Each structure stands twice: as structure tokens, then as C-alpha cells.
């Protein structure tokens, strides 16, 4: 098992999607479509941290 990545005041652990409570019950297509819609606003902020971090995932999502 991987060790935690520690950031001041928080911890991140790698998980499988199936480890997330409610993952199997969620509507993944609806979530994906909502993400694609939000990409319009995200990519307009390319010079900001969130826009820069999600630019590539947004471009990939638009291509699918």
C-alpha cells in the first residue's frame, strides 16, 4: 500500500474508485456531462491555478 502524501493540514491517499462510498450508485454520465459543461468556465481561466490544472482534462473530455 502507498504511503500518504502529506500537505500541511491535509492528507491525500490514493484510492480505487470502488473505494469511494456511493461510487456505484452515482450517475457517472451525469457527472461527466456536468464536468464538460463546467469546462467552459474553467478553460476561460487558463492563467489561474484551477484553469491551468484542469485544462488538459477539459480538452480530453471535449474530445470524447
Which of 9-23, 27-41, 48-62 is predicted most confidently? 27-41
For residue 7, the model assigns a pLDDT of: 65
Residue 59 placed within a domain:
yes
Q: Domain range for residue 32?
A: 22-63
Considering its fold, how many domains does the chain have in total?
1
Helix H or strand E segment including 10: strand 10-12
Q: What is the 3-state secondary structure (H, E, C) of the chain?
A: CCCCEEECCEEECCCCHHHCCCCCCCCHHHHHHHHHHHHHHHHCCCCCHHHHHHHHHHHHHHHC
pTM above 0.85, yes or no: no
Residue 16 placed within a domain:
no
Amino acid at each position: 500500500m502507498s504511503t500518504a502524501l502529506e500537505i500541511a493540514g491535509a492528507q491525500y491517499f490514493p484510492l480505487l474508485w470502488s473505494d469511494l462510498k456511493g461510487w456505484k450508485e452515482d450517475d457517472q454520465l451525469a457527472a461527466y456531462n456536468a464536468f464538460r459543461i463546467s469546462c467552459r468556465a474553467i478553460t476561460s481561466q487558463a492563467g489561474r491555478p484551477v484553469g491551468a490544472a484542469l485544462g488538459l482534462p477539459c480538452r480530453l473530455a471535449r474530445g470524447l
